[in-house]
Structure 1
Amino acid sequence: MSACAPPRNEHSPPTTPPPRRRRFRVGSADVSASVAVFLIALPLSLGIALATGAPLQAGLVAAAVGGIVAGRIGGCPLQVSGPAAGLTVVTADLIHQYGWRATCGITVLAGIAQLGLGCMKVARGALAVSPAVVHGMLAGIGITIAVAQVHIVLGGRPDSSVLTNLRALPAQLARLDPAALVISALTLTLLFAWPRIPDPVGSLLRKVPAALVAVVGATAAAALTGLTLPRVDLPSWRSHALAGLPQGPTLGIVAAVLTTTLVCSVQSLLGAVAVDKLAAGHTGSARVGRSDLDRELLGQGAANIVSGALGGLPVAGVAVRSTANVNAGAVSRNSTMLHGALVVIATLLLVPVLEQIPLASLAALVMAVGIQMVSLNHIRTVTRHREVPVYVVTTLGVVCLNVLQGVLLGIAVAVALALHRLTHTRITHGEREGAHHIRVSGQLTFLAVPRLSRALHRVPHGTRAVVELDGSFMDHAAYEALQDWRTSHTARGGTAELKDRRTGVSAGTPPSTVCRCRPWTPWRNHRCALPTAPGRQDGAGTTGAPRPDTHELARGISSFQRNTAPLVREELARLAKEGQRPSQLFLTCADSRLVTSMITASGPGDLFVVRNVGNLVPPPGEEHADDSVAAAIEYAVEVLGVRSITVCGHSGCGAMQALLAAEPGAAPTPLRRWLRHGEPSLARLAEGRPERPRLAPRPAADAVEELSLANVVQQLAHLRAHESVARALAAGRLELHGMYFHVGEARAYLLGDDGDEAEAAVFHDVREDARDDVRGVPEVGSLV
């Protein structure tokens, strides 16, 4: 017996060891998804290796290593890694300049660099690269791939330079190989026609990947017709070249490692983000959760080290295979790893079959991939965001120079464009109608403060000045400079008026006519108010009922459509498709100061909210009970399957004030009839049952707050009496929580475990630095 093991009583019954947990289980969904990805990866891996000029088996090595190593270690379980078309140009340049074995060594060094970046947790920083730069890089690589593969499609051999390939194209057309052209055309025809086969037959045939159909069809046609064509040549594994040390100028090797690291990392991280969005729309895949980008960088680094050491191509996340993996219903990383294992099996057992594939067919397949990398959707996106110069410069830089220089040029143009937009503030000064007008067009930042100050100080003392602001942003330095000048100018006998040119409203206009929705204004000014209708007055002189201000509502809707809708449209579209699946029922007061989404930091689809006067829950079975609250509770628990119900009270509650001030025998108005459901809370407070609730570490401030706290505890008791809630509580599927929001303090309090009936009800203060101390409240971060 081990010295660390506790002694066993001889008379105690023998303990049975717990069942061994199976650590690797592959479900049927992962198996089918892995087969679909394997059928796509096999021809593409050979085609990408052909396009780079590397040994063809290097593509298979990279596909297997990317699937197994990156799939096992990476932080995006559903992303499939392997040889990527985006790395073709980089790898081809390295092979041309340093040779194949040195390129493998550079791949290993790039993997080590990725491991270092992953340990430094800088993955999110890579996403700061302008999308226009990334799209331009992919477009440039796609053009380079397509131009090079055209020569193989026509029966020739490409050069390493895009410009040289373009110049040699007329001569290649004059001596084209008809057999290679026919096989290439057949490959492209099958590739683009297969997904367009009409239903109902097409729905079954489209399950077979178009890339596999195109290559198999072209291979079968070449074999049946007896065409003499160059075909895949897989040398013996005994002569397979492994990694070697790169020889050459140090700066050149460093630049090569940096380029490989940059392209591999950015493509993989952007691919992981895209896979997250794609998986969110699939029921099975959505359970995987969001990617860990730093871990993904570690996985990609490890895969590149292994692939380079074994003589494989550089590895990165591949969009086509990842999309196929998610669409095929993959639910875990096992599908990615199993696809890598299938590539290994095919490499060992299917060599005679693979050697029948014509090189022209693979070249046509890769050429199609390159053309698709120049995405019209990306071009429309950069045009809409006025980033065409960044896209064009990056694309031309990649095509005419190389990937690293093209990306650096694109980043430089993106920075210059951002600085131009930030600093391009036009300030003009003129005099008309007896007033000095200073007009500011563009964003008003600290960079424009010196020019603004010069323009303002040209206004003579004691004169009328109008400053017209025509921009959507003003930083603190500009705001201070403007306000200081206004104070000084007014003190010297002048008048200063600030006017927004977009609304035509003056800052000196009375509050009833001002629209002051600006990023630099306080919250209370973020609303638009219009003057009252003619013949009406505000305040004590009101004549007649006030007219509803529909213009204010229309302005709010317009602001939502313009500013907020673009940010939430994608998420709302997903919710519209999938339906609502909130995890919590949030029952709170109808008070306008209680903004549930703000105080719980929740978004669309997170909370099922029920609001009424006083956050009351009528007990079941009571005569004339309100069924709307009971119906919402039943729907949330039985249909939506919420995991928790929170009753939230608040300070300064008008319903609690009305309960305390109620006069016996008063006329039964609708409000008084509703507030009778709060009378048990009054009784609880009067009886001190079990003790007056308090806010830790202080008691309630007044009787209204005492009643509000007691009311939360009482409504939780009413909740437990509902049949659907009682069943869910007994089954352990539901938890009840009490919450109190102090409006003046903007602070939330949650009812802890000691809110049980047998003990004092204490609401614990929930702060950012003390979340872990809150007891009995799961998922506190989602509530506060």
Structure 2
Amino acid sequence: MSNPLLRDIGASLVVFLVALPLCLGVAIASGAPPALGIVSGIIGGIVVGAFAGSPLQVSGPAAGLIVSVWAIVDGWGLAALGWAVLLSGVVQLAAAGFKLGRWFRAVSPALIGGMLAGIGTLIATSQLHVMVGATPPSGGVASLLALPAAWAAQLGTESGAWAAALGLGTIVALFLWDRFKPKRLAMIPGPLVAVGLATGIAAITQVSVARVELPASLSSALNVPSLSDLSLFTDLGFVGAALALGLIAAAEALLCANATDQLHDGPPTSYDKELFALGLGNMVAGAVGALPVTGVIVRSAANIQAGATTRRSAIIHGGLLLGMVALAPAVLGLIPVAVLAGVLVYVGGKLLAPKKALELHRAGHGEVWVFLATVLAIFVTGLLTGILVGLAISLLKLLYTFSHIEVDVTREGDRWDVDVHGAATFVQLPKLAEALEAIPEDAEVHVHIGGLAYVDHACAELLHRQEERRERAGGELITEWDEVKRLQVRRPLLERSLSSAKRLVGARGDGAAG
């Protein structure tokens, strides 16, 4: 298919099929009516899609925001959701106005991975309750501890047993489709297959289980904020939750945009423009009381794989969602809630991503501790507190990295090798000086700095003085002087730490200077 418009239409159909069950499931898991998930999907497609800075990214309600939205609905009621989403949109627009788009990416990958994994554990544990027709308690620990009793009670009823069977069947179908789907059917999304199969079984057997409830018209589902609720903004807890929602949605969207850029050869993302589009979309979503929107990697990847060429595919997919809920709401009403819960349990499990911990382990033990601490803190204390704990540990690790140095000295015959790792600053200068001064001045010394993240002026001067003294004594000091100069340049902190992590992995193998 060479016509770009036809390719965009084809891709939009695939994205629509991916988004439809997820919009419904995310809304239900967030404590909101399923129709509001569809409204958010429409806004994410049409509004954000029209102004997006990422050409092929698709926005909408996302599993990564379930915990934040549920906390707001649970704490202040569904009527407060619109104001919270509206405030998050204002924050995102302001950030775009101050050109802060790229700074949202300046977050430790371990912290982001831990945040998503923590959210995944909360989603999975809560939706395991919904999957058998039970109501999950607040908090990850309480939800986990209550699971055995909830399942035991619900499996004793016919509706609970059927709900569990449909939910578990959905998870199995998703697992099998992801791993064994035929190549010629690869474009058919797993959630559509699983939901369609389970819904068909439920319809044929006429089992008595809770199903998706949609209003006769979409307009009657809108949850427009009331001016009488403006007093919410005097509640610091509410304001904090809304701000956290905006920041998490922005970070997720921009990280998704970064990942999306790596999947196609088209124009790269304009981060501030994407942040502006996101803020605008969330202001519209807030104005009608819908769920917040953000960039969604599953829909974006499906969009690219289906051959999308422009933002039109995202916009058209929003139109298809609107058409579906307007013309065929009865079809959506056939879907059992337990089936959507099964989809979200599977999504939550994928967010946990144990492979991420293994990848971080290769960059150093510290990254793994940040990841694990963030996951545990979110599960035990909640999303906002957990993120703050993870951020604090990440900053402490960063401070340690840039105030710590390791100096290893080895000798082979007349040659001395000095391997330096960490950050060479004036704080650690005595340690470096002591190691160098313990080596005879007439020796041949190779200083390997491949493991350094930074060299300050004091340590660079120390190396120069050592070089001069050893030359006078008949010895030699060899190092990568160009690298020393480069490490003295004030690069962005995140770039230095990421570069350092990569060098720490390979320093032993490729750090031989001279």
Partner of 2:421: 442
The answer to whether residue 300 in structure 2 is matched with residue 322 in structure 1 is yes
Q: Deviations over 1:432-454 (max 9, x none)?
A: xxxxx997853452233552588
Distance in 1 (CA, whole Å) between partners of 2:320 and 2:134 is: 33
Paired residue secondary structure (1:373): helix
- Name the structure where helix makes up a greater proportion of residues: 2
- The two structures have a TM-score, normalised by structure 2, of 0.83
**Residue 220 to residue 427, structure 1, CA distance change in 2 (3 Å):** closer
1:153 touches 1:184 (CA, 8 Å); kept in 2?
A: yes
Match of 2:170 among 187, 211, 217: 187
Q: Deviations over 1:263-314 (max 9, x none)?
A: 111110011111111012xxxxx3xx11111100000000000011112101
Match of 2:94 among 116, 121, 141: 116
One-letter amino acid of the counterpart of residue 476, structure 1: H
**Residue 327 to residue 451, structure 1, CA distance change in 2 (3 Å):** same
- The two structures have a TM-score, normalised by structure 1, of 0.56
Match of 2:457 among 466, 473, 476: 476
Distance in 1 (CA, whole Å) between partners of 2:327 and 2:123 is: 30
Please give the residue correspondences for 1:636-715 in structure 2 after superposition, counting only pairs within 5 Å.
none
Question: 29-38 or 444-453: which moved more?
Answer: 444-453
2:429 touches 2:458 (CA, 8 Å); kept in 1?
A: no
One-letter amino acid of the counterpart of residue 353, structure 1: V
Distance in 2 (CA, whole Å) between partners of 1:156 and 1:29 is: 43
Partner of 1:32: 10
One-letter amino acid of the counterpart of residue 421, structure 2: G
Please identify runs of 4+ aligned residues in structure 1 that moved more than 6 A: 437-440, 456-459, 462-468
Distance in 1 (CA, whole Å) between partners of 2:222 and 2:484 is: 68
Aligned-pair distance for 1:262?
A: 1.3
Q: What is the total number of aligned residue pairs between the two structures?
A: 471
The answer to whether residue 214 in structure 2 is matched with residue 265 in structure 1 is no
2:28 touches 2:34 (CA, 8 Å); kept in 1?
A: yes
Please give the residue correspondences for 1:574-653 in structure 2 after superposition, counting only pairs within 5 Å.
none
Distance in 2 (CA, whole Å) between partners of 1:332 and 1:438 is: 55
One-letter amino acid of the counterpart of residue 193, structure 1: L
One-letter amino acid of the counterpart of residue 159, structure 1: P
Instruction: Give the structure, 1 or 2, with the largest relative contact order (CA under 8 Å, sep 6 or more).
Output: 2
Distance in 2 (CA, whole Å) between partners of 1:149 and 1:309 is: 28
Match of 1:388 among 368, 373, 378: 368
Partner of 2:500: none
Distance in 1 (CA, whole Å) between partners of 2:408 and 2:174 is: 60
Paired residue secondary structure (1:423): coil
One-letter amino acid of the counterpart of residue 409, structure 1: V
Match of 2:220 among 228, 231, 238: 238
The answer to whether residue 125 in structure 2 is matched with residue 147 in structure 1 is yes
Paired residue secondary structure (1:442): strand
**Residue 117 to residue 496, structure 1, CA distance change in 2 (3 Å):** farther
Match of 2:199 among 219, 229, 254: 219
Q: Deviations over 1:107-163 (max 9, x none)?
A: 001101100111111111111111111111110001100000001112311122111
Partner of 2:400: 420
Q: Deviations over 1:27-52 (max 9, x none)?
A: 11111111111111111100000111
Distance in 1 (CA, whole Å) between partners of 2:288 and 2:94 is: 21
One-letter amino acid of the counterpart of residue 405, structure 1: T
**Residue 417 to residue 239, structure 1, CA distance change in 2 (3 Å):** closer
Partner of 2:314: 336
Partner of 1:650: none
Give the fraction of aligned pairs with identical amino acids, expressed as a percent: 34
1:427 touches 1:451 (CA, 8 Å); kept in 2?
A: no
Distance in 2 (CA, whole Å) between partners of 1:96 and 1:29 is: 42
1:442 touches 1:471 (CA, 8 Å); kept in 2?
A: yes
Match of 1:163 among 141, 166, 170: 141
2:233 touches 2:239 (CA, 8 Å); kept in 1?
A: no
One-letter amino acid of the counterpart of residue 230, structure 1: A
Aligned-pair distance for 1:204?
A: 3.8
Structure with the greater alpha carbon radius of gyration: 1
Aligned-pair distance for 1:101?
A: 1.8
Match of 2:71 among 93, 101, 106: 93
Distance in 2 (CA, whole Å) between partners of 1:344 and 1:456 is: 70
Gaps of 5+ in 2: 410-415, 487-502
Match of 2:331 among 353, 357, 380: 353
Aligned-pair distance for 1:230?
A: 0.8
One-letter amino acid of the counterpart of residue 250, structure 2: S
Q: Deviations over 1:715-760 (max 9, x none)?
A: xxxxxxxxxxxxxxxxxxxxxxxxxxxxxxxxxxxxxxxxxxxxxx
**Residue 452 to residue 383, structure 1, CA distance change in 2 (3 Å):** closer
1:105 touches 1:243 (CA, 8 Å); kept in 2?
A: yes
1:67 touches 1:339 (CA, 8 Å); kept in 2?
A: yes
Please give the residue correspondences for 1:532-551 in structure 2 after superposition, counting only pairs within 5 Å.
none
Q: Deviations over 1:391-448 (max 9, x none)?
A: 111111221223232222222222222332332225699xxxxxxx997853452233
One-letter amino acid of the counterpart of residue 178, structure 1: A
Q: Deviations over 1:519-558 (max 9, x none)?
A: 44689xxxxxxxxxxxxxxxxxxxxxxxxxxxxxxxxxxx
One-letter amino acid of the counterpart of residue 243, structure 2: L
Paired residue secondary structure (2:352): coil
1:195 touches 1:206 (CA, 8 Å); kept in 2?
A: no
Distance in 2 (CA, whole Å) between partners of 1:455 and 1:206 is: 62
Distance in 1 (CA, whole Å) between partners of 2:28 and 2:146 is: 20
**Residue 221 to residue 68, structure 1, CA distance change in 2 (3 Å):** same
Distance in 2 (CA, whole Å) between partners of 1:490 and 1:208 is: 69
Alignment RMSD, CA only? 3.3
Partner of 2:276: 298
